[in-house]
Amino acid sequence: MPKNKVNTLAKLIVIPDIFIEIKFVNLLIGIEKVDMRSESIEDYLKAIYKLQSSEYNSAKVTTSLICKRMSVSPASATNMVKKLADMNLLNHAPYQGVELTEAGKKIALETIRHHRLIELYLSQALGYPWDAIDAEAERLEHAISEEFEDRIDQALGYPTIGAHGEPIPNKKGEIIQRHFPKLAELANGISATIRRVSDHNPEMLRYINELGLTLGSLVKIDNRAPFNGPLSLLIDSAKQCSISIEVAEHIFAEPIAQ
C-alpha cells in the first residue's frame, strides 16, 4: 500500500516522550495485534470480575447477569462460560453461578489495569470528555504492550485511582478496593465527598458531569422526597440541584464526619 494511503488510515496519539502511530491496517510501536478470541476472553473475564466484586453487590454471578453485562444472548454467554471453564479460568457449577480462578482473576485485573490507565491518560493528557473515555479504552486495552503500559503509568505519576474513581490494579495484579455508600443511601442532612461514579452509561455520565457532580465535589443531602422521589442536593456549598434515585444509585460518596 502506498505510504500516503497508509498515513490516511493512521491516528497519532502523542504522549510525553512517546509517539505511537495506531494504524487501522497494521498496529505498530508498542501495540500488538490480538486475535478477536483473546479480546472476547478478556472482556468476559473483566465483566465477571466486576460482577463478583462486592462493589456490584453480586454474591452469585449467574449467566443471566453476564448476558446483561455483556449485552449478549444467553447462548453466547453459556458457550463462553463453558470455554472459560475448560481453560481453567473460572469455576462453574449448574445453578451456582461462576467464580474466577486465580488465573482468570489475573487476566481480568491486567485488562482492568490497562483500561483504567488508558482512560486516565485520555482524560488528563488528551482532554477526552468523561463520558467518552470508556469506549476509547475498550478499543485499546487489549492491544497495548507491557512497555507502553509502563510508559503511560510513569507519565501519569503512577496513579492508583482511575478517571471515574475506581482503583487501578498495580503491576502485581493487586487492587485495593474502597467501598463507599451510594448517594441514594445517605440520609437528609448528610454531607459527603464524591469518590466514584459508575461508568456503564455514557449518557448518565454526561448528565452527572453537567450537574457538576464530579470527583471530589462536596454534596449535602438537603431533602429526600417521599415514595422514591428525587434527592435535593447542595453542591460545593453553592449550587442546588435535584437528581433521581436512579442517578443517585450510580454515584458513590464518602460521608463527612459530623
**Nearest C-alpha neighbor of 152 from the set 129, 104, 143:** 143
Band of pLDDT at residue 2, cut at 50, 70 and 90: very low
Sequence-ordered alpha helix ranges (H) in 125-190: 133-140, 146-155
Q: What is the CB neighbour count within 10 angstroms for residue 123? A: 19
Do 248 and 231 contact (CB within 8 A), yes or no?
yes
Percent of the residues in the chain that have a pLDDT greater than 70, as a whole number: 83
Sequence-ordered alpha helix ranges (H) in 71-142: 74-86, 102-124, 133-140
Q: What SS3 state is found at 3?
A: helix
Instruction: Give the per-residue pLDDT at 205.
Output: 94
The residue to which cell 497508509 is assigned: 6
Mean residue pLDDT across the chain: 84
**Where are the chain's structural domains?**
6-177, 183-255
- Backbone φ and ψ for 51, nearest 5 degrees, come out as -65, -35
Q: Which amino acid is at 75?
A: A
pLDDT at 26 over 50: no
Instruction: Give the per-residue pLDDT at 59.
Output: 62
pLDDT at 33 over 60: no
Kindly state the average pLDDT of the residues 233-240: 93
Instruction: Give the per-residue pLDDT at 58.
Output: 53
Q: Which three cell numbers stand for residue 144?
A: 497495548
Q: 183-255 belongs to which CATH class? A: mainly beta
Instruction: Give the per-residue pLDDT at 93.
Output: 86
Q: Which amino acid is at 195?
A: R
Q: Which three cell numbers stand for residue 49?
A: 470480575
d(CA 245, CA 228): 7
CATH of region 6-177, choose from 3.40.50.300, 1.10.10.10, 3.40.640.10, 1.10.3720.10 = 1.10.10.10
Instruction: Give the per-residue pLDDT at 56.
Output: 55
Percent of the residues in the chain that have a pLDDT greater than 90, as a whole number: 69
Q: Which three cell numbers stand for residue 50?
A: 466486576
pLDDT single digits (tens) 168-221: 999 999 999 889 999 999 999 999 999 999 988 999 999 999 999 999 999 999
Instruction: Give the per-residue pLDDT at 79.
Output: 94
**Segment of 58-62, 161-165, 226-230 carrying the highest mean pLDDT:** 161-165
Instruction: Give the per-residue pLDDT at 253.
Output: 97
Band of pLDDT at residue 226, cut at 50, 70 and 90: confident
Band of pLDDT at residue 54, cut at 50, 70 and 90: low
Between the alpha carbon of residue 71 and those of residues 43, 89, 95, 205, the distances in Å are 12, 21, 21, 19
Q: What is the CA radius of gyration of the chain?
A: 20
Instruction: Give the per-residue pLDDT at 36.
Output: 42
d(CA 221, CA 256): 12
Cross-strand pairs, 252: 182, 196
pLDDT at 27 over 50: no
The residue to which cell 487501578 is assigned: 168
pLDDT single digits (tens) 134-178: 999 999 999 899 999 999 999 999 999 999 999 999 999 999 988
pLDDT single digits (tens) 80-115: 999 999 999 999 988 888 999 999 999 999 999 999
Fold match, 6-177 / 183-255: no
pLDDT at 130 over 70: yes
